[in-house]
Amino acid sequence: MKEKYLLHCPGCGRLFPDRYTLDCPGGCDALLRAVYAERRLILESLPGIFRYSGWLPIEGHLPIDAGPVSYESVGLARELGVSHLTITFSGYWPERGAGMETCSFKELEAQPTALRLREKGAGIIQVSSAGNTGRAFCQVSGLTGTPVVVVVPTPAADRLWTTVPAENVCLITIDGDYSDSIAFGREVCTLPGIVPEGGAKNVARRDGMGTVMLDGTVSSGRLPDYYFQAVGSGTGGIAAWEAAERLIADGRFGSRLPELHLSQNLPFVPMVRAHEAGRRDIVPSEDMPDPEASIARVSADVLTNRHPPWGIRGGVFDALAASGGRMYAVTNEEAQDAGRLFAEIEGIDLDPAAAVAVASLACAVDERFIDPKKHVLLNVTGGGYERAAEDLDRHRIEPFTWARAGAGLDGSLRDDILEWVSEQGVAVRA
Ligand SMILES: *Cc1c(COP(=O)(O)O)cnc(C)c1O
Ligand SMILES: [Zn+2]
């Protein structure tokens, strides 16, 4: 093939060029995958994530130097009794060279996604998150001028901040809850020139997150035996599996898929329940009874996705089935203890979700779910908020406009957004 990559549908086997395609043109319920012509991992001499652009669905790169940073742990490894522990850190930790200033691995997703969209001329991206994803997209927008439309509930708007001014964010606040903002975001995507981010269906998102597996493997010279991560959607777990398959095909890093050890935060653990029951589908009444109440009680709210890509072909269920491994349900207290331990021993504060992953590793060793002599890759998905607050500026994103829950896109709102779109000067494919 001439192209750097094509998209492949595991449902029907079709192979086709990328037009910022999120779904199989044949209508399969499956996650498309990027298939790269180059089977060897070629490291580019570019900073941050673009070191791995050989296996990202993009042609160029962005002027951003933030990427995952891996190192061999001494302190935590000794404390837990693990012989070979590689920590891959995504967040802000200048002493280790980690420069994700919004402090989570969602920046690994936002960078290639913004660039892929621009290169395909697909338009302007819309996201409906006031959490780590929303912040990461606003930051990439601030650093590159890439426009983004963000829709969030009014009270959550305070959680969106950047460390550089972000002048190209169209923030729409909704007088309602998250479901209302997601519904409104969907309406906004019916406007010409605005496209949805796509979640797990977005190959740029997954291959961006997959650079954690690439970086950890390159750093230790071999594929790990075990991969630990806290999951909400599980997209990072799918991405790790896909990246590991590419590394196996490369031939230089080992021939066995790492086992996936994925964790959630009690009491909201739908994937843990479905996994224990061996089910390809999540049954809401059994796997996430009383979701509002249990979501309100977890300490790591980025792990509370109600519609994870679990059963879809190529999703989390398949990733676990192919790789082996298991899932963990971690209490708030276990996570807080693990976060404290990590800060004390390794020297950086963690995102509550990353603390859940550390707790799951401690549990795996205690319960002998892993052989402590083998190689572990711990994906520390976020951290460094305290350091970032000391070192960096914090810019609030000012709302562009607002709407009532369920209001729909009325005429004047529509015109305002379209005018904003035309001011961005983005070339949109016909
Ligand atoms: C989003 C997020 C996760 C969960 O990632 P998924 O792979 O999408 O489930 C874990 N930790 C942090 C810090 C996150 O922002
Ligand atoms: Zn298909």
Same-domain status, 164 and 233: no
In a domain, 225, yes or no: yes
Query: Residue 131's pLDDT is what?
Result: 86
Ligand 1 contact, 318 CB (< 6 A): no
The segments of the chain whose pLDDT lies below 50 read 430
Q: Which residues pair with 33 in a beta bridge?
A: 8
DSSP calls for 151-165: EEEGGGGGG-EESS-
* Ligand 1 pocket member 234 (CB < 6 A): yes
How far apart are the C-alpha atoms of 70 and 68, rounded to whole Å?
7
Order of strands across the sheet that contains 5-8: 15-16, 5-8, 33-36
Centre of ligand 1 to C-alpha 380, Å, is 10
Say how many domains are in the chain.
3
384: left (phi over 0), alpha (psi -120 to 50) or beta: left
Count H helices, E strands: the chain? 15, 18
pLDDT of 1 reads: 56
Omega cis (within 30) before 267:
yes
Q: Whose CA is nearest to atom 12 of ligand 1?
A: 381
Give domain status of residue 62, yes or no: no
Best of 104, 260, 299 to mutate for ligand 1, by most ligand atoms within 8 A of CB?
104
- 60 lies in some domain: no
d(CA 355, ligand 1 centre) in Å: 12
Q: Are residues 186 and 228 in the same domain?
A: no
Per-residue pLDDT, 428 = 59
232 lines ligand 1 (CB under 6 A): yes
Measured in whole angstroms, the distance separating CA 28 from the mean position of its chain's CA atoms is 23
Based on the fold, state whether residues 26 and 42 are members of the same structural domain.
Answer: yes
| Whether residue 97 is found in the same domain as residue 111 | no
The reply to whether ligand 1 has any atom less than 6 angstroms from the CB of 381 is: yes
Domain that holds residue 13: 5-55
Residue 63: inside a domain: no
The verdict on residue 31 lying in a domain is yes
135 alpha carbon to ligand 2 midpoint, in Å? 33
Distance, CA of 348 to CA of 321 (rounded, Å): 34
The two structure tokens encoding residue 263: 């964790």
110 lines ligand 1 (CB under 6 A): no
Residue 185: both structure tokens together: 């975001």
Q: Tell me if 116 sits within 8 A of 19, measured CB to CB.
A: no
Cβ–ligand 1 distance for 351 under 6 Å, the answer yes
- Among the atoms of ligand 1, which is closest to the Cα of residue 229? 10
Report which residue type is found at 378. Answer: L
* Whether 403 and 373 share a structural domain: no
Q: What confidence tens digit (pLDDT) does each residue in 127-149 have?
A: 998 789 999 999 999 999 999 99
Closest by Cα among 150, 210, 202, 136 to 382: 136
Write down the residue that tokens 């995952």 correspond to. Answer: 68
- DSSP-based three-state secondary structure for 198: coil
Query: Do residues 136 and 10 share a domain?
Result: no
Is the distance from the beta carbon of residue 102 to the nearest atom of ligand 1 less than 6 Å?
no
Of 109, 212, 233, which is best to mutate to test ligand 1, by the most ligand atoms within 8 angstroms of its C-beta?
233
For ligand 1, say whether the CB of 188 is within 6 Å of any of its atoms.
Answer: no
Kindly state if the Cβ of 380 falls inside 6 Å of ligand 1: no
Nearest to 165 by CA among 387, 393, 391: 393
- List, for residues 280-293, the tens digit of each pLDDT value: 999 999 999 999 89
pLDDT score recorded for residue 429: 57
Do 210 and 269 fall into the same domain?
Answer: yes
Residue 402 lies in a domain: yes
Instruction: Give the span between the Cα atoms of 137 and 344, in whole angstroms.
Output: 31
Q: Which helix (H) or strand (E) holds 328?
A: strand 325-330
| CA 32 – ligand 2 centroid, Å | 8
Residues 300, 311 within the same domain: yes
pLDDT value for 13 = 96
Assess contact for 245 and 278: CB atoms under 8 A: no
* pLDDT tens, position by position, 293-330: 999 999 998 999 889 999 999 999 999 999 999 999 99
Per DSSP, the three-state class of 358 is helix
Closest alpha carbon to 50 in 105, 94, 115: 115
Give the pLDDT confidence score for residue 419 in this predicted structure.
Answer: 93
**Is-contact 105 357, C-beta < 8 A?**
no
* Mutate-to-test residue for ligand 1 from 105, 241, 358, 378, highest number of ligand atoms within 8 A of CB: 105
User: Could you identify the atom of ligand 1 that is nearest to the CA of residue 303?
Assistant: 4
Query: What's the gap in Å between 133 CA and the centre of ligand 2?
Result: 28
Question: Which atom of ligand 1 lies closest to the CA of 232?
Answer: 9
For residues 399 and 379, membership in a common domain is answered with: no
Whether residues 11 and 31 share a domain: the answer is yes
What is the CATH number for 112? 3.40.50.1100
Decide if 64 is inside a domain: no
Amino acid, res. 231: V
- What is the reported pLDDT for 121? 86
Residue nearest to atom 3 of ligand 1 (CA): 231
Query: Does 241 lie in the same domain as 136?
Result: no
Q: How far is the CA of 207 from the centre of ligand 1 (A)?
A: 14
Whether 323 and 283 map to the same domain: the answer is: yes
- DSSP states of 232-270: SS-HHHHHHHHHHHHHHHHSSS-SSPPEEEEEEETTB-H
Name the one residue in this structure whose structure tokens are 């909201």.
268
Rounded distance between C-alpha atoms, residue 49 and residue 54, angstroms = 10
Which pTM does this prediction carry? 0.96
Q: What ligand has the least distance to the C-alpha of 25?
A: 2
Ligand 1 atom closest to residue 354's alpha carbon, by position in its atom list: 11
Residue 61 domain flag: no
Quote the CA–CA distance of 45 and 355 in Å, as a whole number: 32
